[in-house]
A and B are shown apart, each in its own frame.
Chain A
Amino acid sequence: MRAARGVGSRPAWLAASLAVAALAAAGCGSSDNSSSSSSKKDSKTTKTASGTPAPASSYPDPQPAVKPRSGGSKSPIKLAIMSECQGAFGSFDNQNMAGAVSALSQFAGAKPKNPNKPKDGFTGGAIGGHPIKLVGVGCGDDTSATVIKETRRLMEQLGADVMVGPLSGDESIAVANYAKQHPDKTFVDGSAGAQDTTLKVQAPNFFRFNGDGAQWNAGLGDIAYNQLGWKKAAVISDDYSFGWTSTAGFIADFCAAGGQITKRVFPPLNTTDYSSFAQQLPSDVDGTFVAVGGAGLIPFLKAYEQAKGPIDSKKFVGNLFWGTPGQFEQLGPRVSGAYIGGAGTAGDLDTPAAKDYANNIIGKWFKTIPPGGDAAPQASSTFTYGYYVNTWGLIKGLEAVKGDLSGGQKKLQAALAKTTLPAPYGEIKLDDNRQAITDVFVQQLYMKDGKLAVKTVAKIPEVDQTFGGTFSASTPAPGRKFPGCEKRSLPWLGKSQPVKVVG
C-alpha cells in the first residue's frame, strides 16, 4: 500500500528523465526572461529620460522598416497585443494577430514575419521615427482573471507602453478597470463588445474603435418588426453580460419600432441539456431572438429541433455568433434564411474600401490565417476587423503626436480621442466615452454551393452606444430585466439603407 518506494522502479526513472527534460524547458523559459527583464530596465530608463536615444542593442530586428521614416534611432514604442489562445475563443488567436499586424504593415511600415502565421508577429515598423517593438502577445482564455494576469505580464514585466486588446466582453471590463489604475499607459480595445467597458467604466485612457454588443444588433429589431412582421417576440440568451448586452440591443430596437417582448429565457452558461429551456419558448409569439453563443449555440439549436421540429428561419433572428467566419459554418444548413445582427462587419460589401480591405490589406499581408485557411475571407471576422481598426486607430493617434509618449502619454490620449477612421465598412469616430460611433449591418444566412453563407442586407448608419437614451452612465447595465420594452424614436430608425453586395 505504501508505494513511496516506487522510486527505484523503472517507471520512476522514466519519469525522472522526463522531469529533467521538463525542468530544462522551464529553465529555457527563465533564461528567456533574463533578457526580457533586462529590456524591462530599458523601459525604465526610456521612460524616465524619454527622448534620450536608447542603446542600439534594444532593437533586435535586423531588418529596417519597409518604408524607413526619418531617423530610426529614437526610443521605441513598446506595443503589446492581448489576444486569446485558450478557452472558447482560443482558435481566433491568429485572426486577432492578422488584424493587428496588417494594420501595422499597412500604416506603419512593418512587415509580417510569416504570411501564413500571423501569430509570429512582424519586423520593422516605425511611427514618427520611433521604431515599434512588439514586446509580447498575451494569451487570454475568456476570463477576467486570466486577462488581468496577462495584462500585468505585458505591461509590467515586459514594459509595454500601449496595448491592443482584449478579445471578449468581460475581459475588456477588467482591462478598462486596470487602465483606470494605470493612467500613464494607453489601451485600445481588440474586439470586445461589453457595453460597460466604455459606458460605465469610462477610463480616460481606454479607447474602443469597434461597436459594442448592443450596437451590433441595431436595426435587427426594425427588420423583425417591419419585414418579418413580428409583433410579439421571445428572447433566449446566455445568462451573462455579453448575452444580456447583445439581447439589450435587439430589445431596444424591436420595442422602439413597436414590438412587444413576451418571454425572456436565460439558460446558465455551460448548460449541458437545453431541452427544458427550448421547451419554454412560447409558441404564441411571432419569433425568437437567440443570443446563446460559444459552445451553447449548437446544443440549443439541436434541443430546439428536438423539442419543436425544424427551425423556421422566418421565426428566428440571431446575433454575431450566427455569422462569425470560422464559427458559423459549424451550424449547418438548419439556420439558412435567418437574419442576424453581425458584428459591425460586412465582408461581401461591394464598395472599393471593403474589397480593398479584404484583398489588398488582409489578403496582401497574409496568405492564410490558421486554422481557417485563406486569409481574405476571414478579413470580415469581427476578431480580425476589431483588432485591425483598433490598431489602426492607435497608429493614427501615435502619428498625430509623432510617436511622442512623454508626459504620461496625455498627448497621445488627447489625439486618440479625436481620431476618426475612414474604415473599410464605414467611418468610425469616437464619442465622449471614447466609444466608436459606427455603421452596423444586418445580414442574412443563405445556402451557397451547398454551404451556409452570409450576405449583408442593410446598413444602419452611425449607430451610437446610447440607443437614443436607452442606455447611459446612470441606467442599470443590461441584465435579465433591463432594458424594459419601450416604444421610442431611435436616431437610425427608418434610415436603414439597402446595400450592394458581391455575389
Chain B
Amino acid sequence: MSAARRLTSTPDRMVGAGLVLVALFAPLIFSEYWISTLLTQMLILGTAAASLIFLSAYGGMVSLAQVAIYGVAGFALGNLTTTGNTKGLNLGWAELPALPVAIGIAVVVALVFGALASRSFGIYFLMITLVFSVIANLFFGQVTKVSGFGGISGIPIPDVISRTAHPERLYFVTLAVALVLYALLRYVARTPFGLTLQGIRDDPVRMSSLGYNVSLHRTLAFGFAGFVAAVAGVLFVWWNAQIAPSTIGLSATIDVLVIAVIGGLFRLEGAWLGALVFVILNNYAQDVSFIGDRFHTLIGVVFLVIVLVSPNGLIGLWERAIAGRRRSEEDVADERRPTELSAAG
C-alpha cells in the first residue's frame, strides 16, 4: 500500500536526479555505440519491463504478455509504413499518422487479452499471459500476409531521428519518452484508479464486496500497461528498422521478465536498472575468453544468483543498503511484495 510513499525517500531522490543528469549528458561521456545502441536499447527494454513492473507492483499481475503487445505495435507500424517490401501489407503510410494507429491496435489487443485474463490470479495469470505471448509469436510467424517467420525489414524511420544520421537524437527521444512514461505510471498509481488497483492486489474479495468491479479494473490496468509496452514497441522498431516473430519469441519474453526481476519487481525504477545490467551482460559476456560461446550460461547464472540472493532485485539490495538498521525487519519483508502470488485463490 505504501509503495508510492516510500519512493520519496531522500537518498532515492538524490540518486535518481543524479542518474537522470548522467543520462542527459551521456553523449558527452560514452562512445557513440554506447549511446546509439546499448543505452537506447536499455531505455526501450526498460520501458517494456516497466509496464510489467507496473502490473506486478500495483496490480499483483505478473504478465508475460508485455513483449507480445510490444510486438503487436511494432508489427502494426511495420505493416503500415513499409512499401515495396516482399513481406507484410506494405500500406505505405507516413510515420506520424501510423504511430497512433499502431499504438491503438496494440492497446485494443491488450484490452482483449486483459479481459480474458482478468479472472485469473497469481501463477495462473502468469500462465495465461504466457499463452498470449505464444499466440502472438505464432500469429506473426504463420500469417504471412502480415509478416511470416522472417519478419519485416527495412521499416522507415522519421528522418529527424534517423539512427544513422543522428544517433543521439533517437537516444534523447527514447530518454524523454521513458521519463514521461515513468512519471505517468507513478501518477496513475496515485490516482483513485491506482489506489483501487492496489486494493485489488491486496484483497480482491474484499474489494469486490465493497462494490468495485475487480475484472474491469484489472482489464483497464492491463490495457494501460499495454499502452506503455506499445510505445516501447514503436521505439524498438524505429531503433531496429526490423521486427520478426523471433523478436517476440519465448526467449524475448523471458528476457523482459529477467530484466524486471533483476531490477526488482516492486519498483518501477528497477526496470531500467535491470535493463542496463542485462544489455551490458548480453553485449560483453561473449568477449570474456573463458566464457565465449557459452555466455547464455553466464546470463543464467547471474539471473539465478539475483533471484536467490535478493528476491526484490537490485533495487531491493539498494533499499536494504540505505535502510540499514533504521528500518525494522518486518517493514522490509512484508510490504510491497508482489511476489506473493500464492495469495491467489
Which A residues lie at the B interface, using CB under 8 A? Answer: 1-5, 7, 11-12, 15-16, 18-19, 22-23, 25-26, 28-30, 32-33, 36-37, 40-41, 85-86, 90, 93, 139, 143-146, 148, 152-153, 156-157, 169-170, 173-174, 177-178, 180-182, 194, 196, 200-201, 239-241, 268-269, 476-477, 479-480
Q: Would you call A139 and B329 a contact (CB within 8 A)?
A: no
A18–B32 Cα distance when bound, in Å, is: 33
A275–B161 Cα distance when bound, in Å, is: 50
Contacts of B281 in A (CB 8 A): 26, 29
Q: Would you call A26 and B305 a contact (CB within 8 A)?
A: no
Q: Would you call A152 and B31 a contact (CB within 8 A)?
A: no
4 further interface pairs, Cβ-Cβ under 8 Å (given A19-B306, A32-B288, A157-B31): A18-B304, A41-B31, A268-B141, A268-B142
At the interface, is chain B mostly helix, strand, loop or mixed?
helix
13 pairs of residues in contact across A and B, judged by CB atoms under 8 Å: A2-B337, A3-B311, A7-B309, A15-B304, A25-B290, A26-B302, A29-B285, A145-B252, A169-B150, A170-B150, A177-B242, A200-B86, A241-B149
A1–B343 Cα distance when bound, in Å, is: 10
Is B154 in the interface zone, CB < 8 Å from A?
Answer: yes
Q: Would you call B86 and A170 a contact (CB within 8 A)?
A: no
A238, closest chain B residue (CB): B149
Contacts of B288 in A (CB 8 A): 25-26, 28-29, 32
Contact pattern, B 248-261, Cβ under 8 Å of A = 1, otherwise 0: 01001000000000
Is B27 in the interface zone, CB < 8 Å from A?
Answer: no
Q: Would you call B244 and A2 a contact (CB within 8 A)?
A: no
Which B residues lie at the A interface, using CB under 8 A? Answer: 31-34, 36-37, 86-87, 138, 141-142, 144, 148-151, 153-154, 164, 240-244, 246-247, 249, 252, 280-281, 283-288, 290-291, 293, 295-296, 298, 301-302, 304-306, 308-312, 329, 332-334, 337, 340, 342
A324–B290 Cα distance when bound, in Å, is: 30
Q: Would you call B283 and A153 a contact (CB within 8 A)?
A: yes
Q: Quick one: which of B31, B304, B340 has the most chain A CB within 10 A?
A: B31
A137, closest chain B residue (CB): B286
A269–B252 Cα distance when bound, in Å, is: 18
Contacts of B308 in A (CB 8 A): 11-12, 15
A40–B293 Cα distance when bound, in Å, is: 23
Q: Would you call B153 and A33 a contact (CB within 8 A)?
A: no
Q: Would you call A240 and B305 a contact (CB within 8 A)?
A: no
A269, closest chain B residue (CB): B149
B36, closest chain A residue (CB): A156
A28–B287 Cα distance when bound, in Å, is: 9
**Shortest distance from the beta carbon of B60 to any chain A beta carbon, whole Å:** 15
Q: Which of B148, B284, B312, B333 contacts A26 (CB 8 A)?
A: B284
A-B interface, 4 closest residue pairs, ranked by CB to CB distance from nearest: A143-B246, A29-B284, A240-B149, A170-B150
Q: Would you call A25 and B298 a contact (CB within 8 A)?
A: yes
A199, closest chain B residue (CB): B86
B149, closest chain A residue (CB): A240
Q: Would you call A32 and B284 a contact (CB within 8 A)?
A: yes
Contacts of A26 in B (CB 8 A): 280-281, 284-285, 288, 298, 302
A22–B294 Cα distance when bound, in Å, is: 13
Q: Would you call B33 and A40 a contact (CB within 8 A)?
A: yes
**Shortest distance from the beta carbon of A7 to any chain B beta carbon, whole Å:** 7
**Shortest distance from the beta carbon of B9 to any chain A beta carbon, whole Å:** 19
